[in-house]
Amino acid sequence: MNRYILVITEQRDGMLRQVSLEAIAAARLLAGDAGTVAAFLSGTDNEQHAARLLASGADRILSAESEQAIRTDSETVFQTVSAVIAREQPAAVVLGHTAFGKDIAPRLAVKMDTGQISDVIAIEPYGDSFAFTRPIYAGKAFEKRLFRRETWVITIRPNNFQPFAGDAAAIRTLDSSVMQSIPHEQPDLRSIVKDVVKRAAGKTDLSEAKIIVSGGRGVRSADGFKPLAELAEALGGAVGASRGACDAGYCDYSMQIGQTGKVVTPELYIACGISGAIQHLAGMSGSRVIVAINKDPEAPIFKIADYGLVGDLFEIVPLLTEEIKRLPPVQ
C-alpha cells in the first residue's frame, strides 16, 4: 500500500537538524515505492534546506516562512501544521523524538483523532501495515506496537534511521510543483519565545552525536572534564555526563545522560569514571559500541560494555587522545 506521509522538520540555529533527515528516511519506508513524502519547513531561508530534503528522499516541500517559528515556538508551528494536515489529509505524520517533537506530536494526534507511537527505533512490515518498535522500562525491554486506525502520528529516536545521502546540488529547480508556499498567520499566543540562551555551548548536539565521551563522579572536579573534552574533540564527538557528575557540580545539567536526562544512541559511547547505575544505563544502553574506563573492575558499567579498560581515566584518556591525533584523517 502506497501512502502520503508528512514529515515535520526541525531547525536549530538556522540549520536543519539531522533527525529531520532521518525522519524522511522513516517516512520513505512508510510511503512505499509509489507513495509520497512531503516535508514541512517552518523558518527562514527555506530554499537551501528544501534542496537537502529533496536529495534525502522527500518528494514535496511545504514551506512556511516564519521568523517566529524558527525560535522553537511549537504553538505557532502547530497552528500552521494543523491547517496543512486538514488540507493535505496525510496517512501519517512523522517527527523527531526531540523536545519539539514531544511537544507538538500529542497535539497533532488529538487534532487528527488518532493514536501516537513515540520514541520509535525500528519499523518493519506487518501484513498490509507496519510494526513499530520502541524501548520500555528505561530501555530494559522493547515492545512492538501497531495502529488500529488509518492515520498515524510517530516520533523517531535520533540516530536509529539511516538518512539517504543524496546530492543536494543535483536539485536545481524548486518550482511550484515541488516547493509550495504555505500561508502563515501569527495566532494569538499564550507565550512567546523571545530568545534561547545556551548554558552549555557545544559544537555537537548530544542527542544527535555519533560519538559521545561521558564523565561521572570519577572525574572528581570540573577540571576533570578537560581531558574528556580533548578526546571528544579529537574524535569529532560531544561530551556528556552522569547525574552524579551533574549533582556534584562538575558540569551543567544540560550534559546529563540518563533516565532523567537525555537518551542517546551514538555509534560510540565512552564512559569515563561512570559506575553504571541503572538510571544512567537507561539513557545510553542503546549505543552501538560502549567503551568503559573505570578503576573498579567490578563496576556495573562493564557488564554492558563492549570494551573495558580498568585503570585511572586521567592516565588512559590522554593516551587515547594522543593516539587518535596520530591517526590519518578519515577520507
Could you tell me the residue ranges of all domains in the chain? Answer: 4-181, 206-326
Cα separation, 112 vs 6, in Å, equals 13
Among 266, 270, 271, smallest CA distance to 206 is for 266
Return the pLDDT at 76: 76
Q: Is residue 238 within 8 Å of 232, Cβ to Cβ?
A: yes
User: Cell for 66?
Assistant: 516564519
Strands 129-136 and 116-120: unpaired
Among 32, 75, 42, 279, smallest CA distance to 182 is for 42
DSSP codes of every residue in 189-231: -S--------SS--SS-GGG-SEEEEE-GGG-SSGGGHHHHHH
AA letter at 226: K
Return the pLDDT at 49: 87
Q: Where are the alpha helices (DSSP H) in 56-96?
A: 74-88
206-326 CATH pick, 1.20.1050.10, 3.40.50.1220, 3.40.50.2000, 3.10.580.10? 3.40.50.1220
**Can you tell me whether residue 30 is helix, strand or coil?**
helix
Which helix (H) or strand (E) segment holds residue 321: the answer is helix 313-326
Which helix (H) or strand (E) segment holds residue 299: the answer is none
Place of cell 590519518: 328
Fold of 4-181: Rossmann fold (3.40.50)
Return the pLDDT at 138: 76
Q: Is residue 156 within 8 Å of 94, Cβ to Cβ?
A: yes
Sign of the dihedral through C-alpha 246, 249, 250, 252: positive
CA distances to 100, 191, 231, 318 from 72, rounded to whole Å, are: 7, 12, 32, 38
Return the pLDDT at 318: 97
Question: How far out from the chain centre does Cα 131 lie?
Answer: 21
Q: State the number of CA atoms in the 13 A half-sphere of 53 facing the CB.
A: 33
Cα separation, 192 vs 186, in Å, equals 11
Radius of gyration of the chain (CA): 21
Return the pLDDT at 242: 97
**Can you tell me whether residue 110 is helix, strand or coil?**
helix
Length of the chain counted residue by residue: 331
Return the pLDDT at 187: 62
Neighbours of 324 (CB within 10 A): 14
Render each residue's pLDDT in the chain as its tens digit; 331 residues. Answer: 679 999 999 988 778 899 999 999 999 999 988 899 999 998 777 888 888 899 999 999 998 876 655 555 677 788 888 989 999 999 999 999 998 999 999 999 999 999 999 999 999 999 989 999 999 887 888 999 999 988 999 999 999 999 987 665 555 456 666 888 887 666 666 666 676 666 655 567 898 899 999 999 999 999 999 999 999 999 999 999 999 999 999 999 999 999 889 999 999 999 999 999 999 999 999 899 999 999 999 999 999 999 999 999 999 999 999 999 998 875 5
Question: Do 4-181 and 206-326 show the same overall fold?
Answer: yes
Instruction: Record the pTM.
Output: 0.84
Q: Is residue 40 within 8 Å of 161, Cβ to Cβ?
A: no
Sign of the dihedral through C-alpha 77, 120, 35, 107: negative
**Can you tell me whether residue 66 is helix, strand or coil?**
coil
Among 60, 328, 25, smallest CA distance to 156 is for 25
Return all residues near 293 (Cβ < 8 A) that are at least 6 apart: 270, 271, 272, 273, 308, 309, 311, 313, 316, 317
